[in-house]
Amino acid sequence: MTIEDKKDEFSGIEKLMAVIENSEKHYDAEKIERAYLYAKALHEGQFRVSGEPYISHPIAVAEIVTSLGLDTDSICAAFLHDTVEDCPDKTNLDIIKNKFGEEVSLLVDGLTKMKAINVEDKEEANMENIRKMLLAMSKDIRVIFIKLCDRLHNMRTLGVKAEHKRRATALETMHVYAPLAHRLGMQRMKQELENLALSYLDPIGYAEVSTDIEKKYGLNQNFIENTRQYVSEKLEEYNINFSLEGRVKTVYSIYRKMFKQNKSFDEIYDFYAIRIIVDTELECYTALGIIHELFKSIPGRFKDYISTPKPNMYQSLHTTVIGRDGIPFEVQIRTREMHHIAEYGIAAHWKYKSGAKSKEDIDKKLSWIAKLIDTEDGAIDSEDFMHALKIDIFSDETFVFTPKGDVIALPQNSTLIDFAYAIHSQIGNRMVGAKINGMIAPIDRVPQTGEIVEIITSANAKGPSRDWLKIVKTSEARAKIRQWFKKEKRAENIKIGQAEIDRVISGYRVKPTEAQKTEIIYCAARKLGMADSEDLFNAVGYNGIAMTKVTSKLKGEYERIVKPEEQVLITDTDQVQTQKNKKIRSNSGIIVDGEYGCEVKFAKCCNPLPGDHIIGFITKGYGISIHKHDCPNVKAGLENPEYRERWAHTEWDTDSMTAAELSKTLYEVVLQIYAENDIMLLANITAALADMKVSLLSINTKKRTESEIIISLTVGCKNIDHYNSIMSRLKSINHVHSITRGFS
């Protein structure tokens, strides 16, 4: 039975209440009825475009929510989901909280906020941001489930809306909500949303495929039924407890296959499918053996998602065989538990653990993943079902709206200035103020996900302030601000830069004469690639050059021109030592050809760690790129005579950096873990990393062979010793075969 079929199962509130009262789940029927009556009173006098009383919509949404197996609070929220927005003079979140408790009011709040998101007619590029934002916004995943039910009912009744509205809603459904349903593993929901959306977006294509299906299905009307019969008889002989269903592929999935893979209708093998549901995993394989005995299988179409589940937890055996009359069909075999997960997604899989409500830290997130993977006890406890499942998947990003409804993704803790520059440098440069959700806000405020941010600009704006460079969090904004100062404020930059350099030189032990000073600055400027001293002042003024680079060059010229060592022969040795230590302290922690404080960057191809044997490559304009000595790129580069001049001797500046400084810096390291494909593997790896307090920056898995997978991890590493300890811990995990560093 599909959700489509369930439409007719209920006919309004009486039927729904009967289902709730007779359910094995422990619903609070009194509370649900109260929510219904309250919503009914609030929507009194409101009508849908179709002319029906408005309350018919919340009832339908509550029905779908119930059919998905969600809890009492979710059903109440389904009844109330449109009230705060549509009846602002009669109710608000506080009243709902008083009447139905905090959980319901939080769900309604989440749903109301989502309603405010206008994602219609946005470009595809923005869609992924919107999907992420919807997930990030609904801290409680039940909000998404209810929202999907709301959308499903709106799609079912979309026909009465105006054409442009239909198209916009259908596009949004196809690009945002169907993928969300898919991501949550809700196949029925996804299929129905896609079919409905397609029927509005390409009515002709939809009709064409539907007709083809009808023709084919008409011709072989009894094919599925006959096949079912035949397979059933055989399975019964083996004493397997099973249920068997047949299906014809959805219109949208055939449409997509035909148009995206350029296939003809006849080339679609899985048009017909039967699904065998058994009790145990062992019986799955027994049933598979029986099927392959009865029918000839099509090579290359067998997939074992039981031993290798899909990322959304889907487990099943798939095979395609040739039925009688030469008609190919797909067979899916799975256990009841696997089937439940396939149909209802992770919703079916969650069991509430008390205490999970506190703010999630990384350990909690990891244990959440681990719990999802743990299939040991798949039985659903209706009391705890789906209770307070919180998600915080995209906590490293903030999603903010422009007044037009575009979504801008910013790194966490970005300010309104970052937002302005993310839209356009001209918006940033002319920014004089900002509003969050219509209220004036200080420009250094950090906006929250879901807020609408408006930047107030003025043609007479004086431009960015130098203080902004200290406030902004994104390098993009910083670069744009510097760019502005470089262009617009040369005179001022020169003044600031000159003062800064004067300050540096005045700190020298032996004061240079004015003439010497001029020479020092000019020579340093030339060596830094500038035309003259003024250019250097300008660059320093707008922060266009790293001060460490400037001070190191100035010091070099100072020592060459003034020769302070010869002038002061009698010095306290301690003082010399202090001076020396000061000199060699550098930010990068790298010494290049004996020089400190050079601008360096760490190569992404090999991600060197303190302690690794390294070599530097002088790039054109981007400082010195530090590679591991055994990096394959280095090997190739060293053989190239063109580059001979550009290799620099580099070493780690471990002496001058204190242990504290070193341990603060994290270096990215990529690891490839080759392992047997085991269900607990990912959970064990992430748990081990969390235990060692290693920050996990990315994780990807791919299949290598039937039984082996490769997991690519990027982790934050302090140095080579830290790296070695991470490696030995990971190697000790069950099923791990080997680990290599770098990209495979």
Q: Residue number with the shortest CB distance to Mn ion?
A: 150
Give the helix/strand (H/E) hosting 626. Answer: strand 624-628
Torsion of CA 191, 195, 196, 201, to 10 degrees: 130
Between 82 and 270, CB nearer to Mn ion: 82
Beta bridge partners of 701: 711
Which residue do the tokens 């909000």 mark?
A: 143
Between 189 and 670, CB nearer to Mn ion: 189
CB of 586 to Mn ion, least distance (A): 60
CB of 43 to Mn ion, least distance (A): 11
20: which 2 tokens?
């709730």
The rounded distance, in Å, linking the Cα atoms of 111 and 81 is: 6
Residue 653 sits in the site that holds Mn ion (CB under 5 A): no
Between 153 and 387, CB nearer to Mn ion: 153
Residue 612 sits in the site that holds Mn ion (CB under 5 A): no
364: which 2 tokens?
């909690």
Per the CB < 8 A criterion, the answer to whether 402 and 416 are in contact is no
Between 73 and 150, CB nearer to Mn ion: 150
Residue 343 sits in the site that holds Mn ion (CB under 5 A): no
The rounded distance, in Å, linking the Cα atoms of 208 and 217 is: 14
Q: Which of 4, 44, 52, 85 is catalytic?
A: 85
367: which 2 tokens?
């244990």
x-or-dash pattern for Mn ion, window 513-542, by CB under 5 A? ------------------------------
Q: Which of 28, 33, 86, 406 is catalytic?
A: 86
Between 53 and 716, CB nearer to Mn ion: 53
CB of 147 to Mn ion, least distance (A): 9
Q: Is the dihedral of CA 188, 193, 194, 199 positive or negative?
A: positive
Per the CB < 8 A criterion, the answer to whether 31 and 72 are in contact is yes
Beta bridge partners of 616: 626, 648
Between 114 and 592, CB nearer to Mn ion: 114
Give the helix/strand (H/E) hosting 739. Answer: strand 736-741
Identify whether 85 is a catalytic site residue: yes
**Binding segment for Mn ion among 82-90, 95-103, 214-222, 539-547 (CB under 5 A)?**
82-90
Between 147 and 188, CB nearer to Mn ion: 147
Name the DSSP letter for residue 174: I
Between 105 and 493, CB nearer to Mn ion: 105
CB of 146 to Mn ion, least distance (A): 9
Per the CB < 8 A criterion, the answer to whether 75 and 354 are in contact is no
Between 145 and 295, CB nearer to Mn ion: 145
Contacts of 362 (CB under 8 A, 6+ apart): 690, 695, 696
Tell me, by CB under 5 A, how many residues bind Mn ion.
Answer: 2
CB of 693 to Mn ion, least distance (A): 44
CB of 81 to Mn ion, least distance (A): 5
Residue 150 sits in the site that holds Mn ion (CB under 5 A): yes
Q: Rule CB under 5 A: which of 686-705 touch Mn ion?
A: none
CB of 85 to Mn ion, least distance (A): 9
CB of 115 to Mn ion, least distance (A): 8
Identify whether 467 is a catalytic site residue: no
Q: What angle do CA 574, 579, 581 make, to 5 degrees?
A: 95
Residue 82 sits in the site that holds Mn ion (CB under 5 A): yes
HEC readout, 358-408: CCCCHHHHHHHHHHHHCCCCCCCCCCCCCCCCECCCCCCEEEEECCCCCEE
Per the CB < 8 A criterion, the answer to whether 589 and 610 are in contact is yes
CB of 82 to Mn ion, least distance (A): 5
Between 82 and 194, CB nearer to Mn ion: 82
Residue 655 to residues 118, 589, 591, 601, 652, Cα–Cα distance (Å): 57, 9, 11, 20, 8
Question: DSSP readout, 567-611?
Answer: H--S--HHHHHHHHHHHH--SS-EEETTBSS--EEE-TTT---TT
Packing angle of the helix pair 416-423, 475-488 (nearest 10 deg): 70
CB of 215 to Mn ion, least distance (A): 37
Per the CB < 8 A criterion, the answer to whether 406 and 126 are in contact is yes
Q: Give the residue from 450, 407, 398 showing the smallest Cα distance to 125.
A: 407
Binding site for Mn ion (CB under 5 A): 82, 150
Active-site annotation, residues: 85-86
